[in-house]
Structure 1
C-alpha cells in the first residue's frame, strides 16, 4: 500500500512535467502532504516551480464539493508568477495544454477544474472569501498577503482533506507568517521547506556568481541565503566613495532622466541620470551626473512651483553635454516626479514637460540602487553634493525593524529619494543597456 509521499510522487510522474528537478524540489513535492505547506527561500532557488508542480498534482486529485483558489497580491503578479510558468510547456510538458487562463480574468481552468483567482492587495480583499467553501488553495508571495486574509482563507479550507500550498520570500523576523506559523511548524498540521540559491543546480554558475555579488547586506541574507533577518545599520553599506565618485563625466550614451523629490519647507532635489558609453572593458554604467537642489530653510525663501520649473529648466540648459566639446544643455527622456507632488506635476505640464509619477515602492527602489552599487555599475559626479552628503548616513529604522517593518529613517534623504525615483521607475530602460558589451575597447 502506497504512503502519501509515494502516492504524490507517482501522481507527479503521471502528470509528466518535463522540467528537471533538484533533490530539494523533489523532497518538497513528495513531503508536502500537510494541511499547510509553505516554501520559503531565496530568489531563483526553485521553490516556486516545486510548489506549482505540487499544486498541479493536488488539483488532479482534489476533493470535490468545494472551490479551488489561487491567491496573490494582484492579478498581474498571479498571472506572471503562477500562470506563465504553469502554461509553459518547457516546465509542465503536455499538461500546459490543459491550463486555461486569460490575464485579469476572475477564474481559470486547471486540469478540468474551475479555479477562482483572488487578489489580496489589502485587508478589504478578505470580503472576497466570505461565504466560500474551499477544497484547496495556492498562495503566491504569502508574506505580502494581509494577515486577516490569510486567516480567513484557512477558515474557508473546510472540505475534508483540503490543503494549502504557498510560497514566500523571507521578510523581517517579526513578520506574522514567521511568528505564527514557521516558528510553530511542529505544533501545526504544516510542512515548511527552506530553499537557498544553491538548491537550484539548473542555474548557470556564472549567473549565480553574479547574483551573489550583486546582493549585499540585508538583501544577500534574504535573497541568497533565504534568511528571515532584521534590517539594521547602514542601507548602502557597500558604497565605496573612493571608486564611485567621479570628477569628470564620461561620455553619456543615453540621458535616462531626472528624478525629483518635491519639497516646499523640505528641500527639493533633482538628480540627472544617464548611461555612459562602454569603457575599455565593455561596461556601461548608470551615472548620476548632476544635481539641482533648493533648501528653503538654508536659502530663507520658498519657491513657487513655477519658479521650481523655471530653475530646473535653466539647470538642464546649462549642463555641459559630454556628447561633444562646447555643447550645452540636455533634455532627458524621462522626468520622474515624487508622486505626492500633484501641483508641481501640473506646472511641469504647463511648461512643456511630460512628467511621470515616480514609483514609490521604497524597498524595491532601495534594492535597485543597492544592486547597482554592489555590481559596481553606479558612478556619481562630485557635484551631486546633496546625494553624497546623505548616502553615508542613510540607515534602517531600528524601532520599525523591531516591529517587523523594513523602513529607512526619514531624515536627510531628499536627494536619495530623487535618485530612487529615477533609478527604480526607469529600471526597464537602463537595465538592458548595462549588459556588458563584447569586443575590443
Structure 2
C-alpha cells in the first residue's frame, strides 16, 4: 500500500513509527498529516484485534464524512482499496476492510455517554482539540483490548489547551507519539497554491496553519487590518456582480447591526453599507416588528446604492423571535453559522489577501475592526475568545461572510 501512494519521507516515517498507544499527526493545513494518518488507520484495521469495536470520532458526522470518508473513498488517493470502504453520509456505522466501524459525533460534553459501555480495540479521532476533554478521557478508558491504539489529527491550538498540556507535551512520559508537519512538508502541493495560501494568512493564523506552531491568541484579532489598504471611498466602477448577504447581529439593549456584503465584478468582496440602531443612544428599544420594518425600508433604498435584495440574510442564530418576524415580512432569514474561530479565520484570511474591502460609510464597523481583540484572561485558561465589547458589527460581518462562503469562495481573485 505504501508503494502505491505519493507519500513524502515524513509521511512514510510517521506511518512506520506510529506504534504507541496514542499517535497524533499535528501541524499545518494541507501538510499531508491527514492522508498519512488515514493510511495508518487502514493498516491498523487490516490487522486489528478481532475482539473489541472500532470507532471514528469527529466533531459531527458531517465533518467525519467530509474530512475522512471522502478522502478514504477517493481512488486517486487510495486506489482499489476504496472498493472495500463503504459509508453513507450521516450513517452511524461504516464498513472498512470488512470490519464495522462506528461513526460518532462529539460536538460537546453531552456526547460522552455515546461511548459508555463500549470495549474498543481501535479509534480514530479527527481534529482532537475540538473534542471535549471528558469525551477523550472516556474514549481512552474504553480501549482495554490488548493491542488497542488511538490515532488522531489536529491543527495547532492554544499552547494551554488541555490536549497540548496533558498529552502532546508529555511525549516520552505518556504512551504517545507526536508527528509534526508544516505546509512545506508536503512536496506534492502546487507551488502557486502554497504561495497563495501563505499570502492569505498573517499573524496568529499564519503561525498556526502554515508553520504549524502552537501559539496563544493575543492582541488584535484582525492584525492585518490596515485603514489605508482596506477602506475604500467608492465601490468598483464595473459594479457589484451579486449582493451576497446581509449579516445581522441582533440587539435590544445592545446595538442592532447589519452589514451588507457584495461581490464585485473585480472579484473582491465589499462590506458596502451598514445599518445600526443603538437603543441606549436613542433611549428607546424597538420591537422585532419595528426592527424588521426599518431593515426592510433600508434595503429598499440603501444610501448611495439604491434598492438591494441580498441573496441571504444571515441572522444571529440566538435571535429566533426576530427571524420569525423577518419570515412574516417576507425577508427569508437564514440562521448564521456561528463557528467563531472558523469565522474569524475566514475574515482574517480575506483581509490578509486584500480580498475584503470596507466602504468608508461603514463607520461603526471600521471602528470595531480596529479594536477587536483577544481576551487575554481566557487565553491563560486555554480558551480562545474575543473580548465581548464593541463587537456587533464584526459579528454581523462574520455571519455574512462565513455562512455564505461556498457562494463566493471560488469566484475570488487569487491572492496577490
Provide TM-score, normalisation by structure 1: 0.91
Q: Does the alignment pair 1:254 with 2:242? A: yes
- Give the conservation status (yes or no) of the 8 Å contact 1:394–1:413: yes
1:300 aligns to what? Answer: 283
- Hey, what's the Cα distance between the residues in 2 that align with 1:153 and 1:305? 45
The answer for unaligned runs of 5 or more in structure 2 is none
The answer for unaligned runs of 5 or more in structure 1 is 1-11, 279-283, 323-327
Q: Does the alignment pair 1:361 with 2:347? A: no
State which of 207, 225, 228 in structure 2 corresponds to 1:239. Answer: 225
Pairs within 5 Å for 1:147-226: 147-226=133-212
- Hey, what's the Cα distance between the residues in 2 that align with 1:252 and 1:150? 48
1:404 aligns to what? Answer: 382
State which of 369, 392, 403 in structure 2 corresponds to 1:425. Answer: 403
Q: Which runs of 4+ in 1 moved over 4 A?
A: none
SS at match of 2:245: strand
- Hey, what's the Cα distance between the residues in 2 that align with 1:341 and 1:74? 24
- Hey, what's the Cα distance between the residues in 1 that align with 2:19 and 2:135? 23
2:391 aligns to what? Answer: 413
State which of 243, 251, 271 in structure 2 corresponds to 1:263. Answer: 251
Q: Does the alignment pair 1:99 with 2:82? A: no
1:319 aligns to what? Answer: 302
- Give the conservation status (yes or no) of the 8 Å contact 2:355–2:413: no
RMSD: 1.4
SS at match of 1:360: coil
State which of 265, 269, 272 in structure 2 corresponds to 1:289. Answer: 272
Count of residues paired in the alignment: 413
- Give the conservation status (yes or no) of the 8 Å contact 2:56–2:125: yes
1:145 aligns to what? Answer: 131
Larger radius of gyration between Structure 1 and Structure 2 = 1
- Hey, what's the Cα distance between the residues in 2 that align with 1:86 and 1:333? 35
SS at match of 1:392: helix
- Hey, what's the Cα distance between the residues in 2 that align with 1:427 and 1:395? 23
Please say which of residues 218-227 and 301-310 is displaced more in the overlay.
301-310
Provide TM-score, normalisation by structure 2: 0.96
- Hey, what's the Cα distance between the residues in 2 that align with 1:56 and 1:29? 11
- Hey, what's the Cα distance between the residues in 2 that align with 1:331 and 1:285? 19
State which of 382, 385, 389 in structure 1 corresponds to 2:360. Answer: 382
Show CA shifts across 1:188-243 (max 9, x none): 22211001111101000110111111011111111111111100000011011112
In the superposition, relative to structure 1, how do residues 293 and 352 fare at CA in structure 2: closer, same or farther (>3 Å)? same
SS at match of 1:405: coil
Query: CA shift at 1:255, angstroms?
Result: 0.7
- Give the conservation status (yes or no) of the 8 Å contact 2:196–2:414: no
- Hey, what's the Cα distance between the residues in 2 that align with 1:133 and 1:258? 49
2:96 aligns to what? Answer: 110
1:8 aligns to what? Answer: none
